Amino acid sequence: MKNLPAAARVYILAFCGIGVASLASQLPDFRPRDWTQFTIYLAIAVICSGLKVAVPGIKGTMSVTYVIFLIGIVHLSLPETLVMGVLATLVQTYWHAKKAPQPVQALFNLCSITVSIYAAHVVYHLPALNRGGQAVATLLWIAALVYFFLNTFSVTLVVGLTERRPLTRIWRECYFWSFPYYLAGATIAAFVKFSGRYVGWEISALVVPLVFVIHNAYRNYLDRLESERNHAREMASLHLRTIEALAMAIEAKDDTTHEHLCRVQVYAGEIAKELGLGEEQMLAIQAASILHDIGKLAVPDFIISKPGKLTPEEFEKMKIHPVVGAEILERVQFPYPVVPIVRSHHEKWDGSGYPDGLKGEEIPIGSRILSVVDCLDALASDRQYRPAMPLEKALEIVVSESGRGFDPRIVEILQRRAFDLEKIAKSRSPAAPAPKLSKDIKVERGDAPAAGFEINNGKEPSKTSPEPGFVWKISAARLEAQRLYELSLDLGNSLSLAETMSLLCTRLKQIIPYDTVVIYLHQDDVLKPCFSTGENTRYFSGLSIPVGQGLSGWVADNAMPIINGNPAVEAGHLNGPSRFTTLRSALAIPLSGEHGLRGVLTLYALEKDAFSKDHLRILLAIQKKLSLTIENACRFQQAEESAATDGLTGLPNAKSLFLHLDKELSRCRRSDSQLGLVVCDLDGFKQVNDKHGHLAGNRVLKLLSERMREHCREYDCVARLGGDEFVIVLPNADHEKLKQKISQFAHVANQVGKEVCGEDLLSLSAGIASFPGDGQDADQLLAIADSRMYEAKQSSRRG
């Protein structure tokens, strides 16, 4: 009861009260005139109660006991008929029930039969009808009509209030088909009454075969009806699967669409229910809410996924999707009006929408619902061109468009129920996301198309050329040309990546005003910033942007520039208060090298729409030279790093160690601070190589290097001198801290040996030296630490 709507609870309690009162008023007068007759009638009623069939469309059953009840109305008193009806109904309710009913359901069934029998008995014996000399058959038909209406409509009202379905539709589909059988039952009762005058009431026993005939007719009719319903359900399921398959086609173009479609479907369906729309409109809205964006199949991918404002030309291409969607769905020939809803879901209440400029009530009601909820969900969801808004903020924007863009009546419903609808949408969302389509796989077979590949004659693939800008003043044009010339010359003057980027940023800012510049390099399908300067650079320095995501990721994936995109959508940048950025616009171009994408150059500005088409033109003019310069600088940097890095462990090598140590000693002399040096050597490393092989030895060195770095501070230096000897430089570390570090490193070495070899083979000997106490330069400190390390090694062997 607690889960039922308030109106349903009130009705059930009131009806049960009437039924209980009716039965209670007659039970004191229960004194059968003929116990044999009552007992036989009761037995026949109980037998007939087992001849029940499931009622289509609702959770309930019907039996043919009404025939016996009509006979009882004629031959028995009201208390006898009521007792017989209650007992037979109890048997029908619990005998061979697929699921035991709740107590309130059983009570309601008993009260429904009680009220129906009571009213039919009173009508049949009504003096006004009997004084008129009505025939017995006529009286029984009237009584059967009263019994039928009360018994069926009482249940219909409960179902309608509980499930919020139209009462007339439930009654017509679930019960009205049985009305002729009630009239047939009244005719049988009249025959028993007429025959009883000559044979006696015992003739009633002949009713049992007739009841079987009626039951078989019930069952055959309902079997056919159930078969038709199953077929209809299968066809509806086929339609739904077809719709879902079409929705998957949309998802193949836009990965953010799937969840959006599910939420829009829930919102639109609930609003349509509140508006009391008919079944056809409900089905049409359900289908249209999934398929309204199917026309995007005709829109290029780079427009759909563009993380920034569309150009007028791109918007013209986007505006065709409602028309194309309607044309696609016309071929499906839905039996309900899906096509008009899809075609008009971008129309506006004031007539400023597209494609047909409809206004007000001219727009189909389904389109009006869809446009409101589609807008709300789009605002409250992450998009390529901006992050999601809070639901409250999105709702404010939708409400502000009431009477202009949207139907005020629908906006009022959405405003009132938005948070309830959000809860419903979340409760209906699937626990696991739908599997993605295989758009990113590589098909290995197929060497070339039948027509062969296009031959470019050594030319670069064509790129999107910038639109011609406004005519600049002659002086501005000369200044721009001079600066571009100087920039082109400077780009090749240095092989240092940092120097090249710094020079580029200085020169570029003279031509294009910006607040932040970031150069991303492409590594393993991820963009990582290699250089950044300006506003919020501390945020950008930690970004790792997958290709295809965010603004710069979109540029890399599509190999196309973007102008005045939203910086907040950079992957990894928009979530969390600590990642807030004040930047409001971005200009980005892809950088391509000899072997494909090399990176992305992105300029960011604090102002909205800060960049012009001329700015894009300038970047495109230096794009090729800039790409080549960055590629050369990256190669030079990699060569420098490999020359200064140990190839096995990735640690600095001996050359890097001496350079670093000289710098640290110079700093210590200036700041009058201490420096600690630790020289470590592995004991038992030869046994590892001899017993487990050199591959195991290499794993030991790699793992030990990683663990030692983990136990050091960011500004400490761990280097490999060669073989199994390591050096650690520890600024601002006194003698006690150095001893603690040696203890940690010894434990790490022992654990690594056990982890790789499965036995206790490794230990570590270490020696320490301090600046300025033990020496003044790198050679002295290393010699002293090395000597102390060998002393420790000898001491451990003697021990």
- Residue 735: Cβ within 10 Å count: 11
Cα–Cα distance, 171 to 157 (Å, whole number): 9
| Tokens representing residue 25 in the block | 């008023």
pLDDT of residue 366: 92
Question: For the stretch 391-422, what's the b/e string if a residue is b when 16 or more beta carbons lie within 10 angstroms of its beta carbon?
Answer: eeebbeebbebbeebbbeebbebbeeebeebb
Coarse DSSP helix, strand, coil percentages of the chain, rounded to the nearest 5 percent:
60, 10, 30
Rounded (5°) CA angle 524-527-528: 105
**Tokens 């973007």 label which residue?**
562
Q: Kindly report, residue by residue over 675-724, the tens digit of the pLDDT.
A: 999 999 888 888 888 888 888 888 989 998 888 888 888 888 899 888 88
CA-closest candidate to residue 605, choices 581, 626, 572: 581
Q: Judge whether residue 410 has pLDDT over 90.
A: yes
Domains assigned to the chain: 6-228 (1.10.1760.20), 254-428 (1.10.3210.10), 474-639 (3.30.450.40), 644-798 (3.30.70.270)
How many Å separate Cα 19 from the centre of its chain? 50
Cis peptide preceding 355, ω within 30 of 0: yes
Cα–Cα distance, 550 to 586 (Å, whole number): 12
Q: How confident is the model at residue 411 (pLDDT cuts 50, 70, 90)?
A: very high
Q: Does residue 721 or residue 410 have the better pLDDT?
A: 410
Average pLDDT over residues 471-485: 49
Q: Judge whether residue 119 has pLDDT over 50.
A: yes
Q: Does residue 630 or residue 240 have the better pLDDT?
A: 630
Distances (CA, A) of 542 to 528, 529, 561: 8, 8, 23
pLDDT of residue 362: 93
Rounded (5°) CA angle 349-355-358: 35
The winner for highest mean pLDDT among 6-10, 100-104, 273-277, 299-303 is 273-277
Asked whether 7 and 41 are in contact (CB, 8 A), the reply is: no
Q: What is the pTM of this model?
A: 0.50
The winner for highest mean pLDDT among 55-59, 357-361, 521-525 is 357-361
- For helices 167-174 and 136-163, the axis angle rounded to 10 degrees is 130
CA-closest candidate to residue 351, choices 412, 407, 309: 407
Asked whether 71 and 192 are in contact (CB, 8 A), the reply is: yes
Of 109-113, 316-320, 347-351, 488-492, least confident by mean pLDDT is 488-492
Q: In percent, how much of the chain has pLDDT > 70?
A: 75
Of 432-441, 495-504, 537-546, least confident by mean pLDDT is 432-441
| Tokens representing residue 438 in the block | 């295989």
pLDDT of residue 306: 76
Asked whether 649 and 698 are in contact (CB, 8 A), the reply is: no
pLDDT of residue 123: 87
Average pLDDT over residues 585-614: 87
Question: For the stretch 162-195, what's the b/e string if a residue is b when 16 or more beta carbons lie within 10 angstroms of its beta carbon?
Answer: beebeeeebbebbbeebeebbebbbbbbbbbbee
Q: Kindly report, residue by residue over 292-304, the tens digit of the pLDDT.
A: 888 887 777 667 7
Q: Kindly report, residue by residue over 213-248, the tens digit of the pLDDT.
A: 665 665 676 667 667 666 666 766 666 666 666 666
